Homo-oligomer: A and B are copies of this chain.
Amino acid sequence: MKIAYLGPKGSFSHHVVQTAFPKEELQAFANITDVIKAYEQGLVDYSVVPVENSIEGSVRESLDYLFHQARIQAVAEIVQPIHQQLMVVPGHSKIEKIFSHPQALAQGKRFIDAHYPDAKIEVTASTAYAARFISEHPDQPYVAIAPRSSAEEYGLELIAEDIQEMEANFTRFWVLGAEIPKIPLNSQAEKMSLALTLPDNLPGALYKALSTFAWRGIDLTKIESRPLKTALGEYFFIIDIDYSDKELVHFARQELEAIGIQHKILGTYPIFTITDIEKESQ
């Protein structure tokens, strides 16, 4: 089987697919849209993309493409804890410039200010790019903030571990494909994600849409509005609902249709969580 993910090697996405699909052929793509298109074009069996981070919020490129253009659905969710490491080319001790993604830099700001107040900061497109970049410039006084898997991929040495400020930092990844894959991780309750497009009168329609779930006691674990890209104030809504009672959800969806609220299923998926034990053992 072939699995598409957001590269380069050593990224959090790479760690997720390595953990979920340890024996399959993994193919890196340069951006999220290309990862999804790889499945649509029949190049891979599954595409894995990040959809939400607990600090940054939704990954707009993933959700917008899935809503507006894709016919593919999520068949599994993988939750990855985010830990950031400070790494150098082995043996380096001179540190003048720190490379990383803006979010990792923000998360490590307190550590950097305390230990490297004079270092220059350079922004990169991803943490894994930062790690690869410093490995390609071994003669420079460079350091990267990146995941542990980046250090392994590019032969770098950790000089400080878990430098992120907030402990509760997780990213949700969706496995997009035709059927639930076999994933060697523990799974929890199933969820369903829907995108609702409401008819003209927004406030009443959203209220009615939520009513169809609320009075049946179906838990919502997320609601998020995204612009429809037509005018200010026109949105679609992404909701995540508990899918443990499939019959109740079935009737709620029928009621949505009956009152004129369109919805698209973005996915129906069990949730797998990567624990720190997997992290340590990789």
Residues of A near any B CB (own CB < 8 A): 52-57, 60, 79, 166, 168, 170, 172, 202-204, 206-207, 210-211, 213-214, 218-227, 229-235, 237
CA–CA, A53 and B228, complex, Å: 11
- 7 residue pairs of the A-B complex, CB under 8 angstroms, read A172-B232, A202-B219, A202-B220, A203-B219, A207-B207, A207-B214, A223-B223
Knowing A168-B230, A211-B207 are in contact, say whether A235-B220 is a contact too (CB < 8 A): no
Knowing A57-B227, A229-B54 are in contact, say whether A235-B206 is a contact too (CB < 8 A): no
CB–CB B225/A222 < 8 A? yes
Set of chain B residues within 8 Å of A170, measured between Cβ atoms: 231-232
CA–CA, A214 and B227, complex, Å: 21
CA–CA, A138 and B222, complex, Å: 50
Set of chain B residues within 8 Å of A56, measured between Cβ atoms: 60, 227
Knowing A210-B207, A220-B202 are in contact, say whether A227-B60 is a contact too (CB < 8 A): no
Question: So how many copies of this chain end up in the complex?
Answer: 2
Q: How far is the CB of A83 from chain B (nearest CB, A)?
A: 15
CA–CA, A1 and B166, complex, Å: 39
CB–CB A52/B166 < 8 A? no
Q: How far is the CB of A169 from chain B (nearest CB, A)?
A: 9
16 new A-B contacts at CB < 8 Å, known A55-B227, A170-B232: A54-B229, A54-B231, A54-B234, A56-B60, A57-B226, A166-B229, A168-B229, A202-B219, A202-B221, A203-B219, A206-B223, A207-B210, A210-B210, A222-B235, A223-B225, A223-B237
